[in-house]
Chain A
Amino acid sequence: MALLEVKGLTKRFKGLIAVKNVSFTVDEGECVGIIGPNGAGKTTIFNLITGFLKPENGAVFLKGEDITNLKPYEIVNRGIARTFQLICPFPNMSVMENVLVPLYGKRKKLEGNLEEKGSEILKLVGLSHQKDKLARNLPHGDLKKLEIARALATEPEILLLDEPFAGLSFDEMAVLMEVIKKLHKSGLTIVIVEHVMRVIMNLSERVIVISEGEKIAEGKPKEVVQDKKVIEAYLGVSTIA
């Protein structure tokens, strides 16, 4: 059984069909990339999976259970966490406090003290040295890591990342890539929306391509970038690595 299954999802915004009969599965331990033109519906799919939006048709299953009509906080509690394109940490809290907020929601289930758990998570994403700094004083690359740390603090089984590499410098990208690889290796299932093709080629084992709300291709990264439809709608050029 797939860990996550999306079945025939359709979402309309007034006249516009933003997501049209999209189905896919994600297996445990996989890292799946989602790419597609701007406005294709990628973030909307994340919003549908995490309960921020309700679909007109279709359903989302986590470990076989229908979670379509659950609220976002219930879905987080079941094990799906996400990050946002425009990062929004609590600017006047320290890095540690930012991670303690989601951890607090888990306090009854957690063993040991919350700060210890927080330190572990910050270590995992490489933010230990910044833990007492106010979030608003962090450089952009570290903010992106903090965004991921906050999602990890909900102890997810699946992590949905929405353009985590946007706006990062080359160096910062390399660092974040290692962080995500590490998370993946530790067994976390990851779905990543990203336009930086180098990242997609490097991290994802399977890529799903969305265009105008529909799935137009799916396969290994190397196959997908050769796909004519994908080149036309998304890449513009055929050779990219």
Chain B
Amino acid sequence: MLNLEGVTVYYGGALALENVSLSVEEETLTAIIGPNGAGKTTLLRSIIGLKKIHKGSIWFAGKRIDGLSTREIVKMGVSLCPERRRILPEMTVLENLEMGAYLRKTKGEVREDLKKVFDLFPVLEERKGQLAGTLSGGEQQMLAIGRALMSRPKLLMLDEPSLGLSPIMRSVVFKKIDEIRMEGVTILLVEQDAYSALKIADKGLVLENGRIVQESSGESLLKDENVRRAYLGI
């Protein structure tokens, strides 16, 4: 469904991604783990067209998408829940969620999805009329995930969705991500909580210094000695 071929990206003079090739199969969950600064966020931003790539190509559903605008890529069915939330603080919770569905025409479906998001995060329904900037940090994180879901993506990319969430919400979110995958959405997940991510992943990639250094099933990465030491602390 998603293919990256030899993608190289620079930030200023610094090499952020070097010759990255990967493929994400339909209806699977791929987890990307790696230290901070490895290029995980850059990878997601490149896919959705927020960062220009300097070499290589990116393909989604058989079409080349590098060079397309973010708007066009979102319209094709890709969505991103960005790091650091990036919610719209001066809009209400409901308006933020509606913005997530901005490119969709079918009102009935949007309403359905809104209900789904409220089922997932009841606190968002309680606070739907409140300005998003007045939510707590963790609640803003929930809103960012909800907003990403509102575009009903075929490929959902989540950048550290568990950041700032309580232990109980963290397990709710991981369970929900697993469920969303079961419903047929393809997921690309970037997480510091490598254990939780690999546990639900079909495939795991380890990104270090802008390069993919390991690629395997989620399960076998969980068992891998190096991964355990570096990313799981066990």
Of the residues A37, A42, A139, A237, contact of B36 by C-beta under 8 Å:
A139
Q: How far is the CA of A228 from the CA of B172 in the complex (A)?
A: 19
Asked whether, in the complex, the Cβ of A167 is within 8 Å of the Cβ of B160, the reply is yes
| Known pairs A13-B134, A38-B165, A236-B171 / 9 extra A-B pairs, C-beta < 8 Å | A38-B141, A38-B166, A40-B136, A43-B136, A140-B37, A173-B233, A195-B165, A234-B167, A234-B168
The CA-CA distance from A167 to B151 in the complex, in Å, is 26
Answer yes or no: B139 CB below 8 A from chain A CBs: yes
Chain A residues contacting B169 (CB-CB under 8 Å) are: 37-38
B22 CB–A CB distance under 8 Å:
no
B27 to chain A, nearest CB (A): 28
Residue of A nearest to B164 (CB): A166
Tell me the complex Cα distance, A42–B169, Å: 16
Residues from chain A with a CB closer than 8 A to the CB of B138 are 37-39, 195
Option from A39, A170, A235, A240 in Cβ contact (under 8 Å) with B233: A170
Q: Identify which of A141, A167, A169 gathers the most chain B CB atoms within 10 Å of its CB.
A: A169
- Which residue from A36, A85, A171 sits with its C-beta under 8 Å from B166? A36
Interface magnitude class on chain B: 20 to 34
Interface positions, chain B 180-234, Cβ under 8 Å from A, are 192, 194, 230-233
Q: Which residue of the partner chain B has the closest CB to A240?
A: B167
Would you list which residues of chain B between 75 and 132 have a CB under 8 Å from chain A?
83-84, 123
Q: A170-B194, A170-B231 are in contact. Are A43 and B168 (CB under 8 A)?
A: no
Q: Any chain B CB within 8 A of the CB of A27? A: no
Q: For B136, list chain A residues within 8 Å (CB).
A: 38-44
User: Is A163 interfacial (CB 8 A cutoff)?
Assistant: yes
CA distance A35 to B168 in the complex (A): 12
CA distance in complex: A240, B170 (Å): 14
Chain A residues near B134 (CB-CB < 8 A): 13
CB–CB A43/B137 < 8 A: yes
Let me know if B167 and A195 touch, CB within 8 A. yes
Known: A195-B166, A235-B167. A170 touches B232 (CB 8 A): yes
B1 in the interface, Cβ–Cβ < 8 Å? no
Assess whether A86 is interfacial by the CB under 8 Å rule.
yes
Chain A 158-198: CB-based contact to B (< 8 A → 1; otherwise 0): 00000100111111111000000000000000000001010
The distance from the CB of B113 to the nearest CB of chain A, in whole angstroms, is: 22
Q: What residues on A are CB-neighbors of B123 within 8 Å?
A: 38-39
Is B194 a contact of A38 with CB atoms below 8 Å? no
Whether A172 and B139, one on each chain, are in contact in the complex, defined by CB atoms closer than 8 angstroms, is no
B135 at the interface (CB under 8 A from A): yes
